[in-house]
Amino acid sequence: MTLTANWSYPTTIWFGAGRIAELAKACQHARIKKPLLVTDKGLANLPITQNALASLTAAGLDAALFAEVDPNPTETNMQAGLEVYKAGGHDGVIAFGGGSGLDLGKVIAFMVGQTRPVWDFEDIGDWWTRANADVIAPIIAVPTTAGTGSEVGRASVITNSQTAEKKIIFHPKILPTVVICDPELTVGMPNFITAGTGMDAFAHCLEAFSSPHYHPMSQGIALEGMRLVKENLTAVYADPANLTGRAHMMSAAMMGATAFQKGLGAIHALSHPIGAIYHTHHGTTNAVVMQAVMRFNRSEIEDRFVAVARYLGIEGGFDGFYDFVGGLVTHLNIPKNLTDLGLRDLGDADLDRIVAAALIDPSAGGNPRELTAKNTRALLEACF
């Protein structure tokens, strides 16, 4: 089965195995002559990254690499990247990798010409209008995982290193000009990353579908995204070289990130501060708290997940879907709770800190059941 297409929703997407060979062409399309390829430390010296750089050089492009990217990228990483970008006279960014590389690459391109601090552009109200849109550098995104969907997102998640808070930096022009989705780039992912990123895509779709906000297009995309994860995540976990499954998972990741324009919820409101404070893997954290959040929201989402279960061919309505999620988490060897994830010996002050951060997280507003200090504390305790 050949899965190749050119898409323009939500942006220009070049999709298919082997299409990383078109990276130089993508630079030409975006009018980038001197790209800075931004990726994380773990990917910097791997063949997929070095081959991409070599292809740019062979095409006559003066490319450079920046890889000082933490798993939860910070404004310190951003500042270092900006210095390299400016010193090298670059004119565009290739954001390459998983969520960390993609998010940091995008925010470097966004901030290169701004005069205000990055926190002035947090996703609050119309703060994005503070930015000078004319000086945002062009961005090409190349995902090497299938989870965050940051390649089709209009925002970057950046951790404030001083406060250990994850902040969402938003601007419409953070959306990459061209996305190259090549499933061959995901074949080398370790199994735990395949699992965690795949569950991140699933969480995006599940929470978007649960959100009470009105966005029928996102609702349909979220539903089909859940189906793709159901039918392909365990397949690629068992057989990493399954390119058809890898392609479907890359699609599901982009669908989740497109769908959550409708909103996210308590899964992400909890996982953002937990990840920022305790440096846990984002998608894995989402998976760990997923069932507890479903129980918490049951009164508001039960009817719609009866329909989801029917569409996905799962018997038992809401309970059947809930059990499917639990079985998926077990099958992927994901920790069963936050204790198993490594959050041990937390006191009241630690829990209160997570709850306080969850309540002000932008994702909280999309939860179908209103989050309060009391019920969020109870929800968090149920995750241990």
On whether both 138 and 212 belong to a single domain, the answer is no
Query: When comparing pLDDT for 3 and 266, which is higher?
Result: 266
Pick from 152, 210, 161: nearest CA to 366: 210
Among the candidates 140, 160, 185, a domain finishes at: 185
pLDDT for the residue 77: 97
Buried b (16+ CB within 10 A) or exposed e, 307-335: ebbeebebeebbebbbebbeebbeebebb
Among the candidates 133, 166, 185, a domain finishes at: 185
On whether both 171 and 204 belong to a single domain, the answer is no
Q: How much is the average pLDDT of 237-256?
A: 97
- Between the CA of residue 295 and those of 30, 149, 201, what are the distances in Å? 46, 26, 20
* CATH number, position 181: 3.40.50.1970
On whether both 159 and 212 belong to a single domain, the answer is no
On whether both 152 and 235 belong to a single domain, the answer is no
On whether both 59 and 106 belong to a single domain, the answer is yes
Tokens of 197: 């990123």
pLDDT for the residue 372: 98
Q: How much is the average pLDDT of 124-149?
A: 96
* CATH number, position 322: 1.20.1090.10
On whether both 98 and 139 belong to a single domain, the answer is yes
On whether both 146 and 277 belong to a single domain, the answer is no
pLDDT of 2 higher than 90: no
On whether both 181 and 220 belong to a single domain, the answer is no
- pLDDT tens-place string over residues 258-299: 999 999 999 999 999 999 999 999 999 999 999 999 999 999
Domains: count for the chain: 2
Amino acid (1-letter code) at residue 340: D
On whether both 201 and 130 belong to a single domain, the answer is no
pLDDT of 9 higher than 90: no
Residue range(s) defining the domain that contains residue 147: 5-185
On whether both 157 and 236 belong to a single domain, the answer is no
Query: Side-chain half-sphere of 51: how many Cα atoms within 13 Å?
Result: 10
On whether both 220 and 154 belong to a single domain, the answer is no
C-alpha to C-alpha distance for 94 and 237, rounded to whole angstroms:
28
pLDDT for the residue 141: 98
pLDDT for the residue 333: 98
pTM, two decimals, is 0.95
- pLDDT tens-place string over residues 181-219: 999 999 999 999 999 999 999 999 999 999 999 999 999
Pick from 3, 252, 271: nearest CA to 146: 252
pLDDT for the residue 12: 95
Under a CB-based contact definition with an 8 Å cutoff, are residues 207 and 267 in contact? yes
